[in-house]
Every structure is written in structure tokens, then in C-alpha cells.
Amino acid sequence: MLLEKISQNLTTVISEVLETMFFVFLEPRSGPLPLSEDFIGAQVVIKGSDFAYELKFLAQSRLLQQIAADFLGLDQETASLAQCQDVLKEIGNMVSGNLVNICDPEARLELGIPTVSGDHLTAASLDDCVEKFIYASDEGVLLVGINSSGTDGK
């Protein structure tokens, strides 16, 4: 099943993307989702012939401000919401793209364009997801949820 492949490879891909490109080291965590109300969200859809997976990315704003500031050479306080959202979309794009490369070498899947889902979100945004993952650093938390529709025949 594609969902299993995505789940199995997610942590490795997140580490590769965030460490190589953003110099951020996140550790996987278990337990309940955090109660924070300052998440910024983005999502990417991966489409197959008769199914689709939506990867939802929620990052605490202070984590994104730190990443955006480091990435763009800004002071943390001056990273705007638009810059934070753009960085989260690019994280989602790179993570999803690299997952597709691993899980679909035959290029049957179509990778969508990342979109922003808002700010001041809570972890409840992942309530409809069949899989949820928590990654944390001292700066904050990144949540990834996977929502599925249709039949994954793989």
C-alpha cells in the first residue's frame, strides 16, 4: 500500500529535507498532539488514477519564523507571515516530492502544487487524517497528517 510506504519513509525524508536545506534538526515524538493555537498550515495533494493523498503540514509559527529567518537571512522577528507560509509550502513541496520519488519510481503519481491552509490553526486541523506524525525541536513542533480518498490499489 502506498500509504504504508509514505508513512515508512516520511521521517527519513523530513530529516533529509530539513537538515540539508534548512539546517533544522527535528526529532520524531509520540503522544497526544500539542494544544498550541499558533500553527501555520500548508498542504500538498498526491494523485493516483483513482485515489489521492493529501499531506497536511502544520508548523508552529515560532519554528517557522526561525526557519524563515535562517533561510532568508533575516532577523527572526522580521520574518513575515507570507515568508513563513512560503517556506512551509516549500518544505511541503520538497517532502512530498521526495516521498513520491521513493514511493513511485514509475512516475504514475501526480504531485500537486502546495497551498496554504491558514494560520492560527490548531492540531484539530488534522482530525480527518488517517495518519499523524509529530516532529519537534527546541524551537517548536511540526505536525504532518495524511488524509486519503479513493482506493489505493498498489
Partner 1 sequence: MAYNILVVDDSMSMRAIIKKVIGMSGFDVGEIAEAGNGLEALAKLEDFWADVVLTDIHMPEMDGIELLKKIKGDPLSAAIPVVMITTESRDEVVSGALAMGAAGYIKKPFRPEDIKALLVEILGGEDDAAGEDQSESDDGDF
Out of 60, 66, 83, 148, the only residue in the binding site for partner 1 (CB under 8 A) is 83
CB 116 within 8 A of CB 41: yes
- Asked if residue 97 binds partner 1 (CB under 8 A), the reply is yes
Pairing of strands 110-111, 131-137: unpaired
- Asked if residue 42 binds partner 1 (CB under 8 A), the reply is no
- Asked if residue 119 binds partner 1 (CB under 8 A), the reply is no
- Asked if residue 106 binds partner 1 (CB under 8 A), the reply is yes
- Asked if residue 105 binds partner 1 (CB under 8 A), the reply is yes
DSSP assignment of the chain, as one string? Answer: -HHHHHHHHHHHHHHHHHHHHH----EEE-SSPP--S-EEEEEEEEE-SSEEEEEEEEEEHHHHHHHHHHHHT--GGG--HHHHHHHHHHHHHHHHHHHHHHH-TT--SEEPPPEEEEEEE-GGGGTT-SEEEEEEETTEEEEEEEEEEE----
117 Cα distance to chain centroid: 12
By CB under 8 A, the count of residues binding partner 1 is 28
Nearer to partner 1, 111 or 136 (CB): 111
The least CB distance from residue 68 to partner 1, in Å, is 7
Out of 30, 31, 35, 73, the only residue in the binding site for partner 1 (CB under 8 A) is 73
- Asked if residue 86 binds partner 1 (CB under 8 A), the reply is yes
Those residues with Cβ within 8 angstroms of residue 8's Cβ, 6 or more apart along the chain or in another chain? none
Which span (32-40, 47-55, 68-76, 131-139) binds partner 1, by CB under 8 A? Answer: 68-76
Out of 7, 16, 62, 117, the only residue in the binding site for partner 1 (CB under 8 A) is 16
- Asked if residue 100 binds partner 1 (CB under 8 A), the reply is yes
Which span (33-41, 55-63, 92-100, 131-139) binds partner 1, by CB under 8 A? Answer: 92-100
